[in-house]
Amino acid sequence: MRVRDLLAPGAPRLRLLAAEEELDRQVSGVMTTDLQDPGRYLHGGELVLTGMLWRTVPADSERFVRTLAAGGAVALAAGEAEVGPVPEDLVEACRRHRMPLLAVPDDIAFGTVTEFIGRQVSADRAADLAALVDRHRLLVSAAGGGGLDAVLDLLGGDLDLDCWVLTPTGAVIAGPADRLSAQDRDQLVRAHLAAQRQRRRPPHRARLAAGSFSLLPAPASAEHDEPPAGGGLLADWVLAVAGDVTEWTTKRQQLAENLARLVAAERHRRDEGRRLRRRLADELLALLRRDADPAEVGRALYASSAMAARYEGPGAKSQAEEGSWLVLSAEGTGLPEGAVRAVLEEALGGASDRALVAGTGTGAVVVLPVLDAPVPADALRELLAPLEAGLGSEGRITLGVSAPAAGAGGLRGALEEARHARRIAASRVGRVCVAGPEELASHVLLLAAVPDEVRRAFRSRLLDTVIAYDIEHQADLVRTLEAFLRSDGSWTRCAAQLHVHVNTLRYRIGRIEELTGRDLSRLEDRVDFYLALELA
């Protein structure tokens, strides 16, 4: 309700004494007090009822009204039953602070005013929630699915409540994207993922340069009988609300909680709509694994493109015959089954409605149409980077990207490329690692294809004695070997790089040759050392 509703027909007989221009303020509750300093008990939005027993001298009025204004009170109602008519100094103080002042006649009880406001606020709250439910009902029945934006528009326009729905990688599902920078979104989802991983009770709070935000999870429903139910917090949407919900009135807190439920319901509806596409993706992966005839693969791609054409127009269907496709191979460590599939569906955003994302236990394979330029590995790495905050000490995601494959016939080879690239990514240090097709033409591809036990044995035979010597004698042979190889065997360049005399460098290289039985003037031995250092 608004302050002016207290002066409408049917309301208690109150008289307006000051600040007529502020009558559109929203009243969220009532506080009755005669304390000289009630500021600590104010949360914002209250109409304050007082018998004025705090006033002993005129200066008390200024101090009292200043405290109410600072605490966010929206109006003051002064009872005349105890001390008589409202004094002029209180009227003047309210004018100065633009605080609506209402006189409560001596025959009107404070309880009557409180009861009236309670009925009005309850009715307003029911109307707010009913409006949300109605908007969301329209959303669920609409084919276009733009209803979340309609709900957030309602909150922003009617209730002055700015909200955004974000994916765990910071993409905007709904809300005014132009009013939240990419950097702010990144910080918000990282704060949310870290808090969820630490099992802190929501809402989570984040303070950015743009202000304070409250973060509420909108989890995917656990009712699915197939992924991405196992996605967990890494795939859940996030409801970001401007302001600190914990400092709000009960009404607005309940409104935010109800909105989070509506967002979760929309997420469930969207996931239900993807179930057929997931089945197509699993069938396509099975065809590729058994090296099926390209015609069979083409039919699966055509079915996928036909489904996309329902939303994107007939041009999408030609993708199966004429377009190029990328294959992504991903694996999760320390994550539940189905998590990586769900993560990639959310991370790819709108592209996931064209992509086929198949689940492989703790991993996933994505077949993605190349509509414009191929997706570079660096862009995918940057896209997935916010997920690091939710992975924990043991969690890890590694992903490999193939080169574009032309039509159905090239998908089998692209899948192998993506798998090799993923092995390269897995050999690196980091929680989110991505390798692209440009790295498959180097020695790294050979290293990635070698079994782990062979890699360890090769590295050990060449470097263990050198590492042991360094530890025992506080030497620097391994670093010297790396610098020597980087300098292409140039004595002068390597010595300058290490800031040592050439004779000192020759002594160190001689010691390495004695310990390993290799000759660093031979190309074959240099290559072996280089590969061993890469494996290390």
Residue pair 328/418 in contact (Cβ under 8 Å)? The answer is yes
Given the structure tokens 């992924």, which residue do they identify?
A: 227
Given the structure tokens 């957030």, which residue do they identify?
A: 152
Q: Which residues, in sequence order, are CB contacts of 399 under 8 Å at separation 6+?
A: 328, 329, 330, 331, 380, 384, 422, 425, 432, 433, 434, 435
pLDDT band at 147 (very low <50, low <70, confident <90, very high): low
Residue pair 415/327 in contact (Cβ under 8 Å)? The answer is yes
Element containing residue 449 per DSSP (H, E): helix 443-449
**Within a 13 Å sphere around the CA of 35, how many CA atoms are in the beta-carbon half?**
12
Tens-place pLDDT, residues 487-498: 888 999 999 989
Cα-based torsion angle of the residue sequence 208, 209, 211, 217 in order, rounded to the nearest 10 degrees: -20
What SS3 state is found at 217?
A: strand
Cβ burial of 445 (10 Å; 0-12, 13-18, 19+) is middle
Q: Which residues, in sequence order, are CB contacts of 219 under 8 Å at separation 6+?
A: 233, 236, 237, 264, 267
**What's phi and psi for 520, nearest 5 deg?**
-75, 0
Average pLDDT over residues 166-190: 88
- Integer Cα distance of 366 and 285 in angstroms: 9
Using the predicted structure, report yes or no on whether residue 525 has a pLDDT greater than 80.
yes
Q: How many CB atoms lie within 10 A of CB 479?
A: 12
Average pLDDT over residues 115-139: 60
pLDDT confidence of residue 503: 93
- Integer Cα distance of 252 and 15 in angstroms: 29
The encoded tokens of residue 527 equal 């290559």
pLDDT band at 509 (very low <50, low <70, confident <90, very high): very high
Q: Please report the domains of the chain, with CATH numbers, ordered by start residue.
A: 3-123 (3.40.1390.20), 143-270 (3.30.450), 274-449 (3.30.70), 452-535 (1.10.10.2840)
pLDDT confidence of residue 407: 76
User: 50 versus 115: which is more confidently predicted?
Assistant: 50
Does the N-terminal peptide bond of residue 203 adopt cis geometry, omega within 30 degrees of 0? yes
Nearest C-alpha neighbor of 77 from the set 153, 155, 17:
17
Q: What angle, 0 to 180 degrees and rounded to 10, lies between the N-to-C axes of helices 275-289 and 250-273?
A: 40
Q: What is 269-308 written as a DSSP string? A: HHHHHTHHHHHHHHHHHHHHHTT--HHHHHHHHHHHHHHH
Using the predicted structure, report yes or no on whether residue 57 has a pLDDT greater than 90.
yes
Q: Which strands form 101-104's sheet, in the order they lie side by side?
A: 15-18, 101-104, 75-79, 46-50, 29-32
Q: Kindly state the percentage of the chain with pLDDT values over 70.
A: 82
pLDDT confidence of residue 124: 58
User: 330 versus 255: which is more confidently predicted?
Assistant: 330
User: 347 versus 508: which is more confidently predicted?
Assistant: 508
pLDDT confidence of residue 95: 93
pLDDT confidence of residue 138: 47
Q: Which residues, in sequence order, are CB contacts of 236 under 8 Å at separation 6+?
A: 168, 196, 217, 218, 219, 220, 267
Tens-place pLDDT, residues 388-420: 888 877 788 999 888 888 877 788 878 888 888
Average pLDDT over residues 280-289: 86
Q: Which residues are 356's β-sheet partners? A: 367
Q: Is 243 left (phi over 0), alpha (psi -120 to 50) or beta?
A: left
Q: How many CB atoms lie within 10 A of CB 510?
A: 11
Q: Which residues, in sequence order, are CB contacts of 116 under 8 Å at separation 6+?
A: 6, 11, 12
pLDDT confidence of residue 230: 40
Q: Which residues, in sequence order, are CB contacts of 176 under 8 Å at separation 6+?
A: 152, 156, 162, 164
Does the N-terminal peptide bond of residue 228 adopt cis geometry, omega within 30 degrees of 0? yes
pLDDT confidence of residue 222: 43
Tens-place pLDDT, residues 206-252: 988 878 899 988 876 544 333 333 456 777 888 998 888 887 777 67
Q: Which residues, in sequence order, are CB contacts of 319 under 8 Å at separation 6+?
A: 301, 305, 308, 369, 371
Q: Kindly state the percentage of the chain with pLDDT values over 90.
A: 21
pLDDT confidence of residue 228: 37
Average pLDDT over residues 420-439: 83
Q: Is 430 left (phi over 0), alpha (psi -120 to 50) or beta?
A: left
Tens-place pLDDT, residues 65-121: 999 998 889 999 999 888 889 999 999 999 999 999 999 998 888 888 888 887 776
pLDDT confidence of residue 127: 57
pLDDT confidence of residue 324: 81
Q: Where are the alpha helices (DSSP H) in 313-390?
A: 319-322, 339-347, 377-384
The encoded tokens of residue 33 equal 């007090």
How do beta strands 163-166 and 237-242 pair?
antiparallel
Using the predicted structure, report yes or no on whether residue 459 has a pLDDT greater than 90.
no
pLDDT confidence of residue 97: 93
Using the predicted structure, report yes or no on whether residue 146 has a pLDDT greater than 60.
no
Average pLDDT over residues 314-333: 69
The encoded tokens of residue 298 equal 């083409």
Using the predicted structure, report yes or no on whether residue 424 has a pLDDT greater than 60.
yes
Q: What angle, 0 to 180 degrees and rounded to 10, lies between the N-to-C axes of helices 491-498 and 502-516?
A: 100
- Integer Cα distance of 382 and 492 in angstroms: 40
